[in-house]
Chain A
């Protein structure tokens, strides 16, 4: 019987126990590579497998937890050999036992942090797992077990690597901390939502906690999971006694707790660290042949970031629409010029304003949309924990967005055209995405609610054929402009009710189109939104910075009994709440110079705006901002102020410049740039504070800065230096070990014909050292870096 059939039989599946614990028992030392046993001490390995089989294990886990080429690097072991031998050992043990058992290819975490935090890219993680899977297929294992995973993004890469390179069933378990989250912050609900979407065959938890501590987390997993749930707990919590790891609970306690899990509805049970054949024997003696206890799970519409999930259809959901260039000049410029700071700011502001998820659309002519959308998604996910809505008319961009997104995405959008459904549904199915589905088809947008409902129904049925569950479909009945199609606006609203009642689907609308061409648009928008919410709208795609819309939603939540006891509403609108929001009143008491010198960055934008009424933008720059900046810079040089004060002032100036730039661009004036500078922390180094300080100060002084980030390859610097014709390259390295990398970068720059002056900086550098590694300038601090940049540009 294939493992998948066995899984569907509804009978408990019993795994083996710990491998590492047993290897240590047989003499493996701390830090020794367990996979070496697959080659050098097969007899021990086979004995362990045999013991588990005799104890009643129905699935053997191969000794390949760390058998990826990253962990095996420098050990002289090869992935394929290690895996093939591991499977052979398991198979040989099965033969000797005369029993039947499945062989699970064990895959543990790679052991590197994923980007953007770490240096391991999604594609690298994918490739490492692919190599393991191909070896596992060759060796003939029956299934793959992904276990002890802590990063849901790594897990996503691994699942795709397995599914795209084999037909093997995938079991996937994560390890949780006592705070109920994995090390990278994923909670059980979010794990379930993402993994079910990716189509694993079973999911659950293992390791880290003992059965007692696991209870709460397991309960959550069982509450949300509609597929089989697996658990492999530790024998309690690990403790180190006399240099040896021991576990906190007794065998009997472990067995009692674990047996209780079966009663809760767990389908697959085994043991993790600290468990031995004796533990497994006690479990199998009770559970062998047992039925999986049935559970009732209510399926809900949910989208997830890596750390949290938003349920659609309970409380009202707001999706921020601002990251979209359509009709937004500044966003357009930001996307074309890689002004990532602007995009970050939009994301942060929308989150602060109360958005529950963010729409991401980068569609512009002349832009490589699939590439760009991935870049922007990664950027936003670095700074925001909100789920994202991937918005594109380009199917390739949707697919790339879904692939590299960390979490369960929402696709915007599909519609009732056969072509659209055939293009988008396979993507939604593969990546487990929810979709906004528009009620239009080959014949356009129907006039009546009934006809739009028919399209919604057609979409739902067609999605069903692809195996997409209906909770992943959110119907958008399309908002038309009331000034052009007045009698059809109510049809949109009516469709909502029909879709909800008859199909049980969730609904969404992009609201602001309704008011085009009318005065007092916010009033129309707000009223329309209220009508739609009353008819059962679940999601609005709006500008969360719009006070009118957000207030209408706040009021609606009270009236619809969503905001219990009006707690949120009172918090926002009571006198105290209002006073809190209006506390900035002392603007006129300060001059812009004082604001800059004092580093009062919340005040500088408003103050600048106020001054623009009486002064030209460039006058403000030359007469107010620059003198203040110089005072601060001199103060820093003389030790009268310390670094945080310099940074505060620089950020204050930055906020002023946002306003100045707006004014300049409104007046059609072209901003004069001082010069172009690349800044980068060199390859291998991950420290970027110094570089970031230099950046903000340089921008203050009018330089155009291309900030390439940290751990930047020489190739990337060469590419940008050539493409942007920069005047200066600034390199940063904090460690003595990475100054070497700085030297190599400079050599490569020169070899590749980049003759631009190079300035270096970092804690361990000196003028002499800088000269030795071939740099042209040494900037001892941010202030000096700016002086050097001036010098270089003036010379050039």
Chain B
């Protein structure tokens, strides 16, 4: 899996808008991009599972433990025959380093945090590539949909991580308030279908932060440009 920690994305997370900045800062950003690659023992796990349909055509997973609650996820998977359920984490070393910098070097703390956000996205991209390579031609994919998007409750994190045996496989835990720990972790569901995916789902429309989103105000989005 190729991890490059795309610098333009990192700068975007850092709030960069073409300001002039020093070479020293540029060095620090590059250093931290290397540092995170070095320390992260990133891990991921996923399952490709068939989607069943109930009498109303609502998708569910047969095991019954991984609920697909809410309208948004149902719309998202409306044409999917199966889905990838994935979890990825950059691991404890990155978490520790973030805590370290939060006490010792705030600049690096913020930069490492942004690099972490970008890196975990790249790991998820890598999982997508892996799945696509495995399944071969003839399939189309939805984008990755995570608990907490729209009306898909964040409490599903607990079930999802348990479903994937996430603690044992990749050391992923969920806090009492349903946040993933280590922080730089992602869980997501991606539909697999035989017809092209047209998103009816406006990510922003379903987002609770829509009205006051700093990215939207600037005409950008919080998610990666290429989606």
Q: Enumerate chain A residues within 8 angstroms of B109, measured Cβ to Cβ.
A: 689, 692
Bound Cα distance A348, B105 (Å): 11
Q: Is the CB of A641 within 8 A of B19?
A: yes
Which positions 9-60 of chain B face chain A at CB distance < 8 Å?
14-17, 19, 21-22, 24-25, 29, 41, 45-50
Q: How far apart are A720's CB and chain B's nearest CB, in angstroms?
A: 19
Q: Is the CB of A642 within 8 A of B16?
A: yes
Q: Enumerate chain A residues within 8 angstroms of B21, measured Cβ to Cβ.
A: 641-642, 644-645
Q: Does A344 contact B (CB under 8 A)?
A: yes
Q: Is the CB of A599 within 8 A of B22?
A: yes
Interface residue stretch chosen among A24-32, A78-86, A404-412, A413-421 = A24-32
Q: Using a Cβ cutoff of 8 Å, how many contacts connect chains A and B?
A: 161
Q: Enumerate chain A residues within 8 angstroms of B48, measured Cβ to Cβ.
A: 243
Which positions 674-706 of chain A face chain B at CB distance < 8 Å?
683-689, 692-693, 696
Q: How far apart are B100's CB and chain A's nearest CB, in angstroms?
A: 5
Q: Does B8 contact A (CB under 8 A)?
A: no
Q: Enumerate chain B residues within 8 angstroms of A693, measured Cβ to Cβ.
A: 106, 110
Which positions 627-653 of chain A face chain B at CB distance < 8 Å?
639-645, 647-648, 650-651
Q: Is the CB of A643 within 8 A of B14?
A: yes
Q: Is the CB of B182 within 8 A of A644?
A: no
Q: Enumerate chain B residues within 8 angstroms of A641, measured Cβ to Cβ.
A: 19, 21
Q: Is the CB of B167 within 8 A of A109?
A: yes
Q: Enumerate chain A residues within 8 angstroms of B183, measured Cβ to Cβ.
A: 686-687
Q: Please, could you name 25 A-B residue pairs with CB atoms under 8 Å apart, sorted by A?
A: A31-B66, A109-B167, A112-B181, A113-B173, A117-B96, A117-B99, A118-B175, A118-B181, A179-B41, A185-B92, A382-B99, A383-B99, A599-B107, A642-B14, A643-B14, A644-B107, A645-B22, A684-B177, A684-B179, A687-B183, A689-B110, A693-B110, A737-B177, A763-B209, A764-B208
**Among A111, A150, A687, A769, which residue has the most Cβ atoms of chain B within 10 A?**
A111
Which positions 107-165 of chain B face chain A at CB distance < 8 Å?
107, 109-111, 113, 148, 154, 159, 162-165
Question: What interface size band does chain A fall in?
Answer: 35 or more
Q: Enumerate chain B residues within 8 angstroms of A644, measured Cβ to Cβ.
A: 14, 21, 25, 29, 107, 110-111
Q: Is the CB of B17 within 8 A of A639?
A: yes
Q: Does A313 contact B (CB under 8 A)?
A: no
Q: Enumerate chain B residues within 8 angstroms of A148, measured Cβ to Cβ.
A: 168
Shortest Cβ-Cβ A-B pairs, 9 listed: A684-B177, A31-B65, A31-B163, A766-B212, A183-B171, A29-B63, A736-B208, A764-B209, A643-B15
Q: Does B93 contact A (CB under 8 A)?
A: yes
Q: Is the CB of B167 within 8 A of A238?
A: no
Q: Is the CB of B171 within 8 A of A118?
A: no
Q: How far apart are B75's CB and chain A's nearest CB, in angstroms?
A: 20
Q: How far apart are A86's CB and chain B's nearest CB, in angstroms?
A: 19
Bound Cα distance A643, B113 (Å): 13
- 1/0 contact string of A96-130 vs chain B (CB within 8 Å): 00000000000001011100111100000000000
Bound Cα distance A32, B24 (Å): 52
Q: Does A656 contact B (CB under 8 A)?
A: no
- 1/0 contact string of A356-384 vs chain B (CB within 8 Å): 00000000000000000000000000110
Q: How far apart are B131's CB and chain A's nearest CB, in angstroms?
A: 11
Q: Enumerate chain A residues within 8 angstroms of B66, measured Cβ to Cβ.
A: 31
A119 and B175 contact, Cβ closer than 8 Å, known pairs A643-B14, A644-B14, A647-B110: yes
A29 and B64 contact, Cβ closer than 8 Å, known pairs A183-B171, A383-B99, A689-B113: yes
Which residue numbers of A lie inside 8 Å of B, CB to CB?
A: 29-32, 109, 111-113, 116-119, 148, 150, 177, 179, 183-185, 207, 238, 240, 243, 340-341, 344-345, 348, 382-383, 598-600, 639-645, 647-648, 650-651, 683-689, 692-693, 696, 735-738, 741, 763-766, 769
Q: How far apart are B109's CB and chain A's nearest CB, in angstroms?
A: 6
Bound Cα distance A572, B24 (Å): 25
Q: Enumerate chain B residues within 8 angstroms of A688, measured Cβ to Cβ.
A: 102
Q: How far apart are B132's CB and chain A's nearest CB, in angstroms?
A: 16
Q: Is the CB of B92 within 8 A of A183?
A: yes
Bound Cα distance A285, B43 (Å): 38
Q: Enumerate chain B residues within 8 angstroms of A736, measured Cβ to Cβ.
A: 208-209
Q: Is the CB of A737 within 8 A of B148?
A: yes
A642 and B17 contact, Cβ closer than 8 Å, known pairs A111-B173, A179-B41: yes
Q: Enumerate chain B residues within 8 angstroms of A179, measured Cβ to Cβ.
A: 41
Contact residue among B19, B105, B148 (Cβ-Cβ distance under 8 Å from A645) = B19
**Among A641, A643, A651, which residue has the most Cβ atoms of chain B within 10 A?**
A643
A648 and B107 contact, Cβ closer than 8 Å, known pairs A243-B47, A684-B175, A766-B211: yes
What total of chain B residues lie within 8 Å of the partner, measured CB to CB? 63
Extra pairs beyond A119-B176, A696-B106, A764-B209 (13, CB < 8 Å): A30-B165, A31-B65, A31-B159, A111-B167, A183-B92, A240-B47, A243-B47, A599-B107, A645-B25, A650-B106, A684-B179, A735-B148, A763-B214
Find the A residue at minimum CB distance from B208.
Answer: A736
A642 and B19 contact, Cβ closer than 8 Å, known pairs A696-B106, A737-B148, A763-B209: yes
Q: Does B91 contact A (CB under 8 A)?
A: yes
Bound Cα distance A117, B104 (Å): 16
Bound Cα distance A112, B171 (Å): 9
Find the B residue at minimum CB distance from A177.
Answer: B41
Q: Enumerate chain A residues within 8 angstroms of B99, measured Cβ to Cβ.
A: 116-117, 382-383
Bound Cα distance A340, B103 (Å): 9
Find the B residue at minimum CB distance from A649.
Answer: B107
Q: Enumerate chain A residues within 8 angstroms of B181, measured Cβ to Cβ.
A: 112-113, 117-119, 686
Find the B residue at minimum CB distance from A120.
Answer: B173
Bound Cα distance A645, B148 (Å): 32
Q: Does B81 contact A (CB under 8 A)?
A: no
Q: Enumerate chain A residues within 8 angstroms of B171, measured Cβ to Cβ.
A: 150, 183-184
Bound Cα distance A687, B180 (Å): 11
Q: How far apart are B102's CB and chain A's nearest CB, in angstroms?
A: 6
Q: Enumerate chain B residues within 8 angstroms of A738, measured Cβ to Cβ.
A: 177
Q: Enumerate chain B residues within 8 angstroms of A184, measured Cβ to Cβ.
A: 92, 171
Which positions 54-104 of chain B face chain A at CB distance < 8 Å?
63-66, 91-93, 95-96, 99-100, 102-104
